[in-house]
Amino acid sequence: MSLTMDVTTWYLEQTSPSDLLAAKPPAIELDIVRSEVRSPEFNRFLYTAVGGDWQWTGRLPWTWRQWDEWLGRGVETWVAYHRGTPAGYTELVPQDGGTVEVASFGLVHWAIGKGAGGRLLEFCTARAWDLAERHPDREPTRRVWLHTCSLDGPVALAAYQARGFRIYDTRLNEPGDEDEGATPGPWPGAGPRDRP
């Protein structure tokens, strides 16, 4: 059965490093590391592993070359690991005018509910604010922004606000026909899973 569903998209921002609010320590140990080797394969893996349950479909048809071109725009990928296993990631995209977009952010399913998201978001937002220290050709960051929508995890909006992001725009749209209750999953047959 197909239906048209309304999707609300919220755009959030910080305009000063002092906007960033600290998170509680996570229940699991995390090592957050920048992926310094440009790897379309790795970023595609992270995109599908994190976004498969939340309708992240926009980049699924991308070719290897499109992924490589995306990363070649100066994208920084930061990955949270627990005991050597990816727990989540974010992509920071520098833009003109001292703006940095948090283009992708999320956790692998097993890490949800362990406080890892708050810590990863705090850490990576701080890295957006100090991005020019790693890239002297960039102007200092004056604004960090992101967007989330009603198809994302149920606590996504509140999680961003808890780290100090403020809504500056809200839009309602109809993306087209969606299969009721279905998500593409990180591989065929995968989809939303009940948490243990």
The ranges assigned to domains in the chain are: 2-179
Provide the b/e sequence for 49-87 (b: ≥16 CB within 10 Å). Answer: bbbbbbbbeeeeebeeeebeebbeeebbbbbbebeeebb
Q: How far apart are CA 196 and CA 194, in angstroms?
A: 6
CATH fold for domain 2-179: Aminopeptidase (3.40.630)
Select the more confidently predicted residue: 186 or 107: 107
Residue 136, phi-psi category: left (phi > 0), alpha (psi -120 to 50), beta (remainder): alpha
Residues 30-41 have a mean pLDDT of: 95
Q: How far apart are CA 46 and CA 118, in angstroms?
A: 18
Q: What are phi and psi of 190, to 5 degrees?
A: -85, 155
pLDDT in tens, 129-181: 999 999 988 999 999 999 998 877 778 899 999 999 999 999 988 554 344 44
User: Quick check: 15 pLDDT over 70?
Assistant: yes
The model's pTM: 0.86
